[in-house]
């Protein structure tokens, strides 16, 4: 059985994951209308992964005697300037999510909820992968610089990159 504090903190994370999904969906749309098909596919997939992160939390909360709340969400940005800036935003967003997961782990220890602590380790590992992936992509983008041929290859290859989840 979840404590009220734990339930509230998990519900907050459900919202964070839902908003993450919307952020990447918005990035997918931006890339798609710019003709960056590979980047768009990458972002659509990433958006689906965030929805899966959200659903995993929802199921957990409901199974442990809590009630997962589906709330309204903040609207994501719709313009991202350049694809370089967009991937920087993705990286910054994942850092924000990692902090949020760390806070959640902290609450689970305060509440002495070791089942939830154990459950959250999946998210801790996932964030290590997501941050590493975002950094790898930023490194590739730096290598390309303003080279058009490089962008063409990046757009073609980035859709093959996924986080195992």
Q: Does 50 bind ligand OFO (CB under 6 A)?
A: yes
Q: Which is nearer to ligand OFO, 130 or 155 (CB)?
A: 130
> How far is the C-alpha of 150 from the C-alpha of 136, rounded, in Å?
15
Q: Does 18 bind ligand OFO (CB under 6 A)?
A: no
Q: Which is nearer to ligand OFO, 84 or 98 (CB)?
A: 98
- Does the annotation place 17 within a ligand binding site? yes
Q: How many residues bind ligand OFO (CB under 6 A)?
A: 8
Q: Does 130 bind ligand OFO (CB under 6 A)?
A: yes
Q: At its nearest, how many Å lie between ligand OFO and the CB of residue 114?
A: 22
Q: At its nearest, how many Å lie between ligand OFO and the CB of residue 113?
A: 20
Residues near 79 by Cβ (< 8 Å), separated by ≥ 6? 30
Q: Does 155 bind ligand OFO (CB under 6 A)?
A: no
- Does the annotation place 77 within a ligand binding site? no
Interface residue with ligand OFO among 11, 18, 20, 116 (CB under 6 A) is: 20
Q: Which two tokens stand for residue 25?
A: 């969906």
Report DSSP state, residue 69. Answer: P
If you write DSSP's letter for every residue of 3-43 in order, what string do you get? -HHHHHHHHHHHHHHHHHHHHHHHHHHHHHHTT-HHHHHHH
Q: Where are the alpha helices (DSSP H) in the chain?
A: 4-33, 37-63, 83-110, 114-144, 148-158
Interacting residues toward ligand OFO by CB under 6 A: 17, 20, 50, 53, 94, 97, 126, 130
């Amino acid at each position: 059985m979840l404590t009220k504090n734990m339930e509230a903190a998990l519900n907050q994370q459900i919202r964070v994951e839902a908003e993450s999904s919307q952020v990447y969906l918005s990035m997918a749309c931006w890339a798609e209308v710019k003709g960056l098909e590979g980047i768009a596919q990458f972002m659509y997939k990433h958006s689906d992964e965030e929805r899966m992160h959200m659903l995993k939390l929802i199921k957990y909360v409901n199974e442990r005697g809590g009630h997962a709340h589906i709330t309204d969400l903040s609207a994501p940005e719709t313009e991202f300037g350049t694809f370089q800036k967009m991937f920087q935003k993705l990286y910054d967003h994942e850092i924000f999510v990692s902090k949020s997961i760390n806070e959640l782990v902290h609450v689970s220890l305060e509440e002495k909820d070791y089942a939830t602590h154990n459950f959250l380790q999946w998210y801790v590992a996932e964030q290590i992968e997501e941050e590493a992936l975002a950094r790898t992509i930023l490194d590739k983008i730096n290598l390309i610089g303003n080279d058009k041929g490089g962008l063409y290859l990046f757009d073609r290859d980035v859709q093959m990159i996924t986080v195992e989840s």
